[in-house]
Amino acid sequence: MARISGVDLPKKKRVEYGLTYIYGIGVHASRLILDATGIDYNKRVFELSEDDIAAITKEIRASHMVEGDFRKKVAMDIKALMDLGSYRGLRHRRGLPCRGQKTKTNARTRKGKRKTVGAA
């Protein structure tokens, strides 16, 4: 079992997609990491040697922000938007979608359970 940045990677998946289970690493970043370490994309996670895992971990620490640090950065960015009073910050504060989606009929995930008005 490969454990990188505090995340257990799925054994049967290709390394290219297994690394995406780490918060902050997508397919593109995964490919950059594998290119830098010289590991084949098609290798499965359970086929990785300890040296391969160490190389991947070293590359991630050197050039990528992941997991806790990345979550903290995202939270701080959202807080900065709210403190500025920007439109996006106001939408975050109110719990509404902030990327232009319509809210008349959809957006239930962001708005929460329906609040019926005027039902007698």
Which CATH number belongs to the domain containing residue 42 in this structure? 1.10.8.50
Answer yes or no: is 115 within a domain: no
Q: How many domains does the chain have?
A: 2
Q: Same structural domain for residues 80 and 42?
A: no
Which residues, other chains included, contact 116 with Cβ-Cβ below 8 Å and sequence gap of 6+?
none
Neighbours of 27 (CB within 10 A): 12
Structure confidence at residue 2 (pLDDT):
84
pLDDT at 8 over 80: yes
Residue 34 located in a structural domain? yes
1 pLDDT higher than 80: no
The pLDDT assigned to 120 comes to 64
Residues 31 and 81 in one domain: no
List all residues 6 or more positions away from 80 whose beta carbon is below 8 Å from its beta carbon: 89
pTM score, whole prediction: 0.79
Q: What is the pLDDT of residue 5?
A: 87
Judgement on whether residues 56 and 90 belong to the same structural domain of the protein: no
Residues 83 and 30 in one domain: no
Domain co-membership, 48 together with 76: no
Q: Tell me: pLDDT of 119 over 90.
A: no
Same domain, 16 and 45: yes
> Chain-wide mean pLDDT for the chain?
92
3-state SS, residue 22? coil
The average pLDDT across 101-113 equals 91
If asked whether residues 40 and 82 sit together in one domain, one would say no
Domain extent at residue 38? 3-64
Q: Per the domain annotation, does 119 fall within a domain?
A: no
Read off the pLDDT band of 117 (50, 70, 90). Answer: confident
Long-range pairs, 34-43, Cβ under 8 A, ≥24: 36/63, 39/15, 40/15, 41/14, 41/15, 41/16, 42/14, 42/16, 43/14, 43/15
Q: Does 91 lie in the same domain as 41?
A: no
Any alpha helices (H) in 1-120, and if so which ranges? 15-18, 27-37, 50-63, 67-84, 87-94, 108-111
Chain segment 45-71, per-residue pLDDT in tens: 999 999 999 999 999 999 999 998 999
